[in-house]
Structure 1
């Protein structure tokens, strides 16, 4: 009989986090959420920070609760990309990490292009040019707070920083490093060309390690404080998208997937990065994944739009569940108004319903007034954007995918899943919901030797989860409306 393995996965999203114990009996993975907590940014004198010490407190709570039912073999952490903390010469945190939605990077992309041409930057890094990327955050520090950068000895991305708090080891895991726009995508190392062009220090960047590396064990003082037994700290795919990628329940080597959460990421898994004129024109990113694979991805604003609308309605005294919002959207008139989900005005936090109305007013469309009309506008526009991204990606690769694996929290909206199938004209296979956590767990099990290969891990996940199929039902109507969406969003 196979010995049961228990591992502990921490999954941090942009608004919440959770601790999940994964138990593998040799055939299937069983998950138990032992702790859930809020992850709210904190505004202090005009700067938006992550409350990282509170997050580490929640990690301690999660470890303590997991230990109640027995020790775990390992711990793995995944988070969002691009953000980081800076350590001083003594290894102390200089200040709380700044949130990627903070406005400090305004104008930094244009400033960077004064020193390195856009085509050269993309040609080296293969990263989608986005103001939130680490490179532009560091450039803002050099321009606006050089004294802070001068004090820094080590930069650690968010999952690497939390791993450091657990183990005392400073490393940069491959997948999270690849979100930074500082990595040479082909050579898989920090790009001295990019860093020198912007006069940024390469000495603060730690050694890059492969995804799934054991970096050490829990710090002895931490074990004593919490009454825990030592466990391995595994650098799983620190970028949550790459943990989710590991959980795509497919038998195919060539597949198209959509990770649907606060951000939506649509792409595929390749042996090597694809960096050419077509991918640069489409602004498609290349990220690193498990086994040195490359993920060819399009970043799209996702459920952030609905989440931020919901927060605004709560401020106005209306407590809608996500299920209620879906029902209201289903009842609303179809194809009335569209937005471009990635328009700059939708990136910051704030009154999202008002911004959506302003966008529709500015583009000469009917203004969505009701809650259902706004949510339907978002859902339909996201589905259109997914179709556009899929077309761009398939053109870059000269390959057509007949189906789309849709994973993550967004698949709980059956309406959005069906819209995506109709807009893309593809069969949508929805599941698992908990793809990021399952991928985190699977990568730990690979690291400790309980699973032999990523292919086996995906088979186990497929056998452990329920997958829902959606067939295109109104593809012709959606193609007609897509032309109108393109016309509206290109204004």
Structure 2
């Protein structure tokens, strides 16, 4: 929600919904609970442990004026050598530089850690989400003292780190729901949980966690901290079991979500639009999904048509044509990111796994297979929830390896590349 020009999360509303959900657990018993959310956003606590202010949404524009100041203290080259993080203007270190409360706060808790703290009274920072802040050393798996000190932050602002599978406390009695239930640290960055549930059967796979964002990359055992990786804007985020999610963020289904909102349509209207889009000529108009014009909330269709006009392409006139432009462009973004991920990491890709909500978008999955020239396996849709549950189940001693179980039990759809890659080669050059 926006108030006085700032975009905030309704974090207390989310917390209330969590408590309401826990109160409805059949039988009133859980063996374990794990919390995952999105990355980079946080709450600041005062000396009394209370939240100092409502967390600001990462799509707020407050960091625009401080990025150059941050880079004057630590160069982009040095930042990448330490944190291996893709430059995104909303990364936590830029948000902190713009946050007037950072100097007086006692502790910073990322969103899943904040919710876990309210549930248990225990503070901590789970590694998969900590690795998205820009304050984390990609090579050592610890907070980067060099970055923290260079930015003038107090080291004690950052809580002790914990890993997926570690205990994170127990539900407090005064919550009134399931008192004493164990809380287990999971891949608290939702993408980390989603990638843990990729039903891969071999090492040479790529993944696309496709939802509001498309996070496209490969899974590695060590970070890639090269200048070439920095120039390509690839990120090294910690995954479950100390793996590295070497990936790039692509704007993703946000483009469709905002278009539907502008047209006063809901997600139930999307299948018919996708059916109509499938009949629109392929690659007639494409956009760069990561162009800054497409980041803020608002009238997405107008921005898409303006981009096409500005780049001398046919201007999509109907919702179906705009939807086709979006899915073609996302497939191109997937193609580019995965080709770069393979080249930069040295990992050959034999199959692409699409997980998350976008795995149910058959047109996008087929276009991704066509664009990459690789077979695509789509599913599971609820990969984040399955990865979260899997880490908890493993911590409880109920299983040892999640991926074979996912591959054997979840409905998966398979897409084979159709036709030559030549049209996609030409379309990529028109992204502007």
**What's the TM-score bracket when you normalise by the shorter of the two chains?**
over 0.9
- Once residues 119 and 484 of structure 1 are traced to their aligned partners in structure 2, the CA distance between those partners, rounded to angstroms, is 32
User: Helix, strand or coil for the counterpart of 1:337?
Assistant: coil
- Once residues 482 and 111 of structure 1 are traced to their aligned partners in structure 2, the CA distance between those partners, rounded to angstroms, is 40
State the match for 2:144 in structure 1: 191
Q: Structure 2 matches for 1:229-248, cutoff 5 A?
A: 229-248=179-198
Q: Does 1:458 align with 2:403?
A: yes
User: Helix, strand or coil for the counterpart of 2:164?
Assistant: coil
User: Helix, strand or coil for the counterpart of 1:104?
Assistant: coil
State the match for 2:65 in structure 1: 107
- Once residues 67 and 273 of structure 2 are traced to their aligned partners in structure 1, the CA distance between those partners, rounded to angstroms, is 36
CA deviation vs aligned residue, 1:150-177 (integer Å, no higher than 9, x gap): 3310000000000001000110000000
State the match for 1:19 in structure 2: none
Post-superposition offset of 1:327: 1.4
- Once residues 110 and 337 of structure 1 are traced to their aligned partners in structure 2, the CA distance between those partners, rounded to angstroms, is 34
- Once residues 379 and 268 of structure 2 are traced to their aligned partners in structure 1, the CA distance between those partners, rounded to angstroms, is 24
Q: Does 1:349 align with 2:297?
A: yes
State the match for 1:17 in structure 2: none
- Once residues 470 and 376 of structure 1 are traced to their aligned partners in structure 2, the CA distance between those partners, rounded to angstroms, is 18
> Contact 2:283–2:427 at 8 Å: present in 1 too?
no
Q: Please state which structure has a larger fraction of its residues in strand.
A: 1
Q: Does 1:80 align with 2:59?
A: no
CA deviation vs aligned residue, 1:383-432 (integer Å, no higher than 9, x gap): 01111001111111223212101111101111111000000000001111
List runs of 5+ in structure 1 lacking aligned partners.
Answer: 1-41
TM-score (normalised: structure 1) = 0.86
User: Helix, strand or coil for the counterpart of 1:488?
Assistant: coil
Match of 1:133 among 88, 91, 98: 91
CA deviation vs aligned residue, 1:165-205 (integer Å, no higher than 9, x gap): 10001100000000101101001111121122222222210
State the match for 2:272 in structure 1: 324
State the match for 1:218 in structure 2: 171
Q: Does 1:480 align with 2:430?
A: no
- Once residues 317 and 67 of structure 2 are traced to their aligned partners in structure 1, the CA distance between those partners, rounded to angstroms, is 35
User: Helix, strand or coil for the counterpart of 1:170?
Assistant: coil
List runs of 5+ in structure 2 lacking aligned partners.
Answer: none
Match of 2:12 among 43, 49, 53: 53
User: Helix, strand or coil for the counterpart of 1:267?
Assistant: strand
State the match for 1:291 in structure 2: 241
> Contact 1:139–1:200 at 8 Å: present in 2 too?
no
- Once residues 387 and 337 of structure 1 are traced to their aligned partners in structure 2, the CA distance between those partners, rounded to angstroms, is 17
- Once residues 30 and 12 of structure 2 are traced to their aligned partners in structure 1, the CA distance between those partners, rounded to angstroms, is 23
Q: Does 1:279 align with 2:242?
A: no
Number of residue-to-residue matches in the alignment:
432
TM-score (normalised: structure 2) = 0.97
Post-superposition offset of 1:335: 1.5
Single out whichever of 399-408 and 49-58 deviates more from structure 2. 399-408
Query: What's the RMSD between the two structures over aligned residues?
Result: 1.4
User: Helix, strand or coil for the counterpart of 2:62?
Assistant: helix
Q: Structure 2 matches for 1:298-377, cutoff 5 A?
A: 298-314=248-264, 321-377=269-325
Q: Does 1:426 align with 2:379?
A: no
- Once residues 73 and 130 of structure 2 are traced to their aligned partners in structure 1, the CA distance between those partners, rounded to angstroms, is 22
Post-superposition offset of 1:481: 2.8
State the match for 2:29 in structure 1: 71
Post-superposition offset of 1:229: 4.4
> Contact 2:209–2:354 at 8 Å: present in 1 too?
yes
> Contact 1:310–1:320 at 8 Å: present in 2 too?
no
Q: Does 1:262 align with 2:212?
A: yes
> Contact 1:108–1:131 at 8 Å: present in 2 too?
no
